[in-house]
Structures are given as C-alpha cells and as structure tokens.
Amino acid sequence: MNYFRTAMLLAAMTALFMFVGFLIGGQSGMVIALLIAGAMNLFSYWNSDKMVLRMHHAQEVDERQAPELVGMVRTMAQRADLPMPKVYVINNPQPNAFATGRNPQNAAVAATTGLLNSLSKEEVAGVMAHELAHIKNHDTLIMTITATIAGAVSMLANFAFFFGGSRDNNNPLGFVGVILMMILAPLAASLVQMAISRTREYSADKMGAQICGNPLWLASALNKIAGGAARIPNADAENNPATAHMFIINPLSGERMDNLFSTHPNTDNRIAALRQMAGDMGSGGGMGFSTPRGQSSAPARGPQGEAPRGPWGAQQPRKPRGPWG
C-alpha cells in the first residue's frame, strides 16, 4: 500500500508539472517542461548525494577513524543484504541523521556528532538501520526526484509570470490565472513532496526495526532525537530547507504537527507503531550491541564519554574511549 501511495503521489507530481507547462505554452510548453525536468533529474541522479553532503559539511570516516560506527553500519548492511555504504559524520550538535545516494551501490549514511554523543549504541544502531532501510527501498532516489520536480514546478510558475497570462493565447486562465498558479502550484508540489516523505518514513521505520532486530531501539532513538531537534537549531538545515525531508526527524524549527504541512509523520505516532511492532514480535535481543553488565547504555554525557575521541577529533589521554572510536 505504501508503494502504491508513493507511485500515485509521484504521478500527481508529474501531472502537476505537465499542467503548469501546458498553461505556459500549450502542448509545446508541456514538452519543454518535461525536457527541463528530465535534465534536472539526470543531473540530480548523478550529483544529489555529493550536493547534500556538501551542504551539511559532512566528513567521510573509515574504520580507522570511527571503528565501531563503521563496523555497526557494515554489520547491518550485511543483514539487510546491501553493499557497504559510505559513512559520514556531520559536526553539528543537533542529533539527527540521513541517507543519500542514487542507488544502494552508490549510497551514503550520515550522522551528526550530536546524535553520536547523546544516544546509546543500541539507539544509534536503530537510527542507522532506519537509514539503511531508506537505501534498500530506493527512497533516496524517490526523494531526489520529488524534490527536483517540486523545484521545477516553482521555477515554471515564476517563469509563467513573465511569459504567460493574457500575452499567451495558449493559457486559458489569463493573467489572473497565472498569478494564482504562481501561488498554488508550488504549494501543491510541496504538499505532494511532504506526503511522499511521510509515507516513506513509516516504511523505513518498519524495515529499520527488522534490520536491527529490536523496534524499541529505534523508538527510543526517535524520542531523544525529537527532543534534541526541538531544542538545538541546525543552521545548515535552516539554510537548505529543501533537504529537511531527508533527515530521520525534521531538523527545522516549528514542525511538530502531523498534518499536510509537515515533512515527517508525528514522532509519537511513529513511536507507537514501533512499540506495537515490538509487542507483536516480542522484545528480541537485537544485534548484540547490548551494554556489558554493570555499565549503563546511556551515560549522562553521551556514549563517547566525557572527552570522546570521535571521528571528528583526537582522543585525550586517560579518558574513556567511546563506542565510535
């Protein structure tokens, strides 16, 4: 059902784009609009991952720099029957994460330092499993296409203001219709884009819980990330709001409702669904990331200790070494 809804929403996005092109220049305008969209999608297909990672100043890490984080991703990628994605860390205090890439063979997962410092190993495992689920479901490509078409709709609507209206006999709505189109077409495209994003998040939650083996890990992580995102601003995301739908929790301020204008489902609804899933499958042991007896899985100052040597800095002497290296 989720795939069907996604296909229908993509069809609606495409139809909207063609309609705007038709209003501007009739059938020829519709063809030109599709050619423009095709060129934009082709460019995004090959470069979207690099663009998004650069927007958020992500740094690639390997086993030497972040052995446990990379090892965790590798283990879950094997469980999900996926190629090993590239692993990135974003030096940002807001706990969050996203996946990108045109296909599983060219994918990447990225986590912020805020996420690695504030979540336990089990919770980070749940988050990484969620992002791998997006890759396995090809959601990263779907979201790239929808974002590109939404941007193209806005571009065409602005183009119509200068070249459409009563000056173009192919436009049956006249100049007033063009003004309305400038307002309503980008809004409609954004609504469809958000609806697709919300649909894919629920699917990724379910598959991510299956990959890591314990839905409660992801449920606990979502609760912590939502609280952190509400308190801690993400400057890069605010400067690039078109990428907000890629994160596991909306990184922008002011998005707390499960309605047409939210890029993500309501977090409480997602947590409730995961808890229901845990009840149905039993509280399994997960992937073996449990904390040794006598130690807390969520230290007061985060899983990296008081002076962590994460993939973004050097370890100080005589201080605890955290799970991410």
Residue 203, Ramachandran bin (φ over 0: left; ψ between -120 and 50: alpha; else beta): alpha
- Based on the number of CB atoms within 10 Å of its own CB, is 27 exposed (0-12), middle (13-18) or buried (19 or more)? exposed
- What Rg do the C-alpha atoms of the chain give, in angstroms? 22
Read out DSSP for 112-129? EHHHHHHS-HHHHHHHHH
Nearest residue to 206 via CA among 146, 136, 256, 141:
136
Distance CA 83, CA 269 (A): 31
Cβ neighbours of residue 74 under 8 Å, at least 6 residues apart? 84
From the candidates 131, 238, 255, 306, which is the catalytic residue? 131
User: What one-letter code names the amino acid at 217?
Assistant: W
Distance CA 4, CA 264 (A): 19
Q: Is 131 an active-site residue?
A: yes
Contact between 9 and 260 under an 8 Å Cβ cutoff? The reply is no
**With b meaning 16 or more CB within 10 Å and e meaning fewer, what string describes 80-111?**
bebeebbbbbbebbbbbbbbbbbebebbbbbb
Is 134 annotated among the ligand-binding residues? yes
Distance CA 69, CA 111 (A): 10
Contact between 66 and 116 under an 8 Å Cβ cutoff? The reply is no
Is 264 annotated among the ligand-binding residues? no
Is 130 annotated among the ligand-binding residues? yes
Q: Residues at the annotated binding site?
A: 130, 134, 201
Q: Residues at the annotated binding site for Zn(2+)?
A: 130, 134, 201
Catalytic residue ranges: 131
